């Protein structure tokens, strides 16, 4: 039975030069799990919001949307509110109550549900989702993963038939994201809820899916089963860069047969390759790896030597924290305690860790936004407190915050860009500097837009342009790949490499393990108020079980030094040479 029918849907935002969606037609059968994917700004969020009547954006719309046979224009508001649930990217954006149990009951109370029914539904969902131990906690005390799980439980109290999710794991650490997706799969399988989810992180989500929809510049360019993706991947579809590691390996190795998706399937394929002495069809020249002729025994050592040469000790630290303590409230808990870390000049340091572990707090201390109550912080050998007011923002540090909206202060992106370089670039050179920087980041088409009219990924691009225009010596990035498609991540990597060549130091807080694996010189883990396990990138990832890449899990003991798909292929070629 078709639960959702979309026919010839075209939508244009006010004053937009072209439609956000163009002639989109598809159906969703009840009980299916559908993944919606595509590049940043392709129209995924617009499409999902149009499917939730109460959140539909204002603009010019043509075509039709039908839910369970009823046209959206005549769909009863109570039916829409209760039978179509939605989860957003930001866990905080949907929470309205101060206490967990109040949040669970909120939607039911607003629909006028009887008290006895509310108590039963809330108790059932709290038990099902494992919320009992934090049932009476304040919502502000929850981690990002707990908040998103609470959002899902709150929606499920209404027993929806259709669940829409807009990149729900974008702000979650890898372990929290995995737990959330596992619960989502359980909800789909056990409760029969129809799921339509927009995601860039396909590693864990694609194996769960029955069907895939791909949007390209607002048009639906692929509609089929997960298996139907194989032909597109073989032909080098832009989606390839965001596919699960096993699928990317399958493509790089030029393997026949079905496309693998999981780590287990990827390992089986790799064992078959090694056993059959099949020569990979791919011809790779990966400058990041030195294992083109490595064997399984030497791969780890070869990669380690390559990374060591890139992360040699610097004569001067870019940022150094020593025994730092920080708390947000006088009588509150320390977020950072006895925290010490040294960021070497000219390196790219990636900081990983769970939601709420203190990563963003550490960035804000280095940026001079927050001040610790104990310990010391130095930037380029000088005490942070010794910098004059405003001095840090003029060519010393620049911060891309987790929420890119916080960067914008005008109603036009280009005005923000020009404002950013007011103190770092002579007036006669500003237009050209802005043009070059925006071009480098593929953001020139965003110049005349209002910042709040952009998609999440587009806001990230525009905000990063503004941050770079401050010409910092130390660039601080808080989740820079959030909301970005895999193709743009590759462009971002090229930008960071260029900055490193210009001796800019980069400190990145990220949940994106693949991004850290290919970009960082060193990696550290924020845990228990401090920074631990600081190691060269390959050493860090090969020693971990959870904070590691899917490619590293696939390589396992066969190629223990490889942490990316390209390195696995090079190691296979080396073994067979």
Give pLDDT tens digits for 125-144.
999 999 999 999 999 888 88
Provide CB contacts within 8 A for 142, sequence distance 6+: 100, 134, 150
pLDDT digit string, tens, across residues 140-184: 888 888 999 999 999 999 999 999 999 998 888 888 888 999 999
Over residues 332-341, the pLDDT tens digits come to: 899 999 999 9
What's the pLDDT score for residue 279?
Answer: 52
**What does the block give as tokens for 472?**
């910092």
pLDDT of residue 287: 30
Beta strands in 39-168 (DSSP E): 60-67, 70-71, 84-87, 162-166
Residues (pLDDT < 70) of the chain are: 236, 277-315, 575-577
**Alpha-carbon span 106 to 566, nearest angstrom:** 49
- Tokens matching residue 240: 């390839």
b/e code 405-437 from CB counts within 10 Å (16+ = b)? eebbeeeebbebbbebbeebbeeeebeebbeeb
**pLDDT at site 237:** 73
The yes or no reply on domain 2-234 and CATH 1.20.1250.20 is: no
pLDDT for the residue numbered 274: 82
> How many helices and strands (H and E) does the chain possess?
20, 20
Contact 45, 456 (CB under 8 A): yes
SS3 165: strand
Give the model's pLDDT for residue 388. 86
Q: Which two tokens stand for residue 399?
A: 């911060």
The two structure tokens encoding residue 323: 């025994």
Residue 102's pLDDT is: 95
Half-sphere exposure of 93 (CA within 13 A, CB side): 9
Q: What is the DSSP string of 482-512?
A: TT--HHHHHHHHHHHHHHHHTT-EEEEE-S-
How confident is the model at residue 278, as a pLDDT? 53
Q: How far apart are the C-alpha atoms of 54 and 81, rounded to whole Å? A: 8
Question: 0.75 exceeded by the pTM?
Answer: yes
Q: What are the structural domain ranges in the chain?
A: 2-234, 238-308+566-576, 410-471
Q: Which candidate, 498, 486, 541, places its Cα nearest to that of 516? A: 541
In whole angstroms, what is the distance from residue 493 CA to residue 245 CA? 18
Q: What is the distance between the alpha carbons of residues 220 and 34, in angstroms, rounded to a whole number?
A: 14
pLDDT of residue 296: 35
User: Hey, what long-range contacts does 252-258 have (CB within 8 A, 24 or more apart)?
Assistant: 252/280, 252/282, 252/284, 252/565, 252/566, 252/569, 253/278, 253/280, 253/281, 253/282, 253/569, 253/572, 254/280, 254/281, 254/282, 258/227, 258/230
Neighbours of 562 (CB within 10 A): 30
pLDDT at 302: 34
């Amino acid at each position: 039975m078709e639960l959702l029918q979309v026919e010839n849907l075209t939508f244009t935002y006010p004053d937009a030069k072209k439609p956000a969606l163009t002639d989109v037609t598809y159906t969703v059968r009840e009980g299916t799990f559908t993944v919606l994917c595509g590049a940043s700004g392709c129209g995924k969020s617009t499409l999902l919001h149009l499917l939730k009547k109460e959140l539909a954006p204002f603009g010019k719309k043509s075509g039709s949307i039908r839910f369970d046979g009823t046209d959206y224009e005549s769909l009863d508001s109570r039916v829409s509110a209760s039978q179509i649930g939605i989860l957003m990217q930001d866990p905080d954006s949907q929470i309205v109550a101060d206490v967990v149990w109040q949040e669970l009951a909120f939607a039911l109370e607003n629909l006028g549900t009887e008290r006895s029914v509310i108590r039963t539904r809330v108790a059932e969902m709290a038990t099902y989702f494992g919320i009992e131990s934090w049932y009476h906690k304040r919502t502000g005390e929850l981690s990002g993963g707990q908040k998103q799980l609470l959002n899902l439980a709150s929606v499920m109290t209404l027993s929806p038939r259709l669940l829409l999710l807009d990149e729900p794991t974008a702000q979650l650490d890898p372990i929290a994201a995995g737990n959330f997706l596992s619960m989502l799969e359980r909800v789909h399988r056990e409760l029969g809820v129809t799921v339509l989810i927009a995601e860039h992180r396909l590693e864990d989500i694609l194996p769960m899916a029955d069907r895939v929809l791909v949007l390209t510049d607002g048009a639906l360019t692929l509609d089929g089963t997960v298996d139907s993706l194989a032909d597109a991947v073989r032909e080098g579809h832009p989606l390839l860069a965001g596919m699960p590691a096993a699928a990317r390996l399958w493509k790089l190795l030029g393997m026949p047969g079905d496309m693998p998706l999981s780590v287990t399937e990827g390992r089986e394929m790799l064992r078959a390759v090694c056993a059959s002495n099949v020569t990979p069809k791919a011809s790779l020249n990966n400058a990041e790896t030195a294992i083109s002729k490595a064997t399984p025994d030497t791969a780890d050592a070869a990669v380690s030597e390559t990374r060591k040469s890139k992360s040699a000790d610097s004569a001067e630290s870019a940022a150094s924290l020593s025994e730092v303590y920080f708390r947000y409230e006088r009588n509150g808990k320390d977020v950072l305690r006895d925290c010490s870390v040294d960021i070497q000049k000219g390196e790219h340091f990636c900081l990983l860790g769970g939601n709420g572990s203190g990563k963003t707090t550490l960035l804000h201390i280095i940026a001079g936004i927050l001040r610790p109550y104990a310990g010391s912080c130095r930037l380029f050998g000088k005490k942070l407190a010794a910098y004059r007011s405003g001095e840090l923002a003029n060519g010393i540090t620049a911060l891309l915050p987790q929420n890119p909206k916080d960067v914008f202060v005008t109603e036009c992106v280009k005005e923000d860009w020009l404002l950013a370089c007011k103190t770092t670039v002579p007036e006669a050179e500003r237009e050209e500097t802005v043009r070059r920087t925006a071009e480098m980041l593929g953001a020139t088409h965003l110049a005349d837009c209002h910042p709040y009219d952009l998609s999440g990924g587009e806001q990230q691009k525009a905000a990063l342009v503004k941050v770079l225009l401050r010409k910092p010596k130390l660039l601080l990035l808080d989740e820079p790949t959030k909301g970005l498609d895999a193709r743009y991540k590759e462009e971002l990597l090229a930008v960071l490499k260029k900055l490193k060549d210009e001796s800019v130091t980069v400190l990145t807080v990220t949940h994106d393990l693949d991004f850290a694996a290919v970009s960082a010189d060193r990696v550290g883990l924020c845990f228990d108020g401090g920074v631990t396990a600081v190691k060269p990138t390959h050493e860090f990832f090969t020693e971990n079980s959870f904070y590691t890449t899917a490619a590293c899990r696939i390589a396992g003991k066969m190629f223990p030094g490889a942490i990316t798909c390209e390195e696995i292929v090079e190691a296979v070629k080396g073994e067979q040479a």
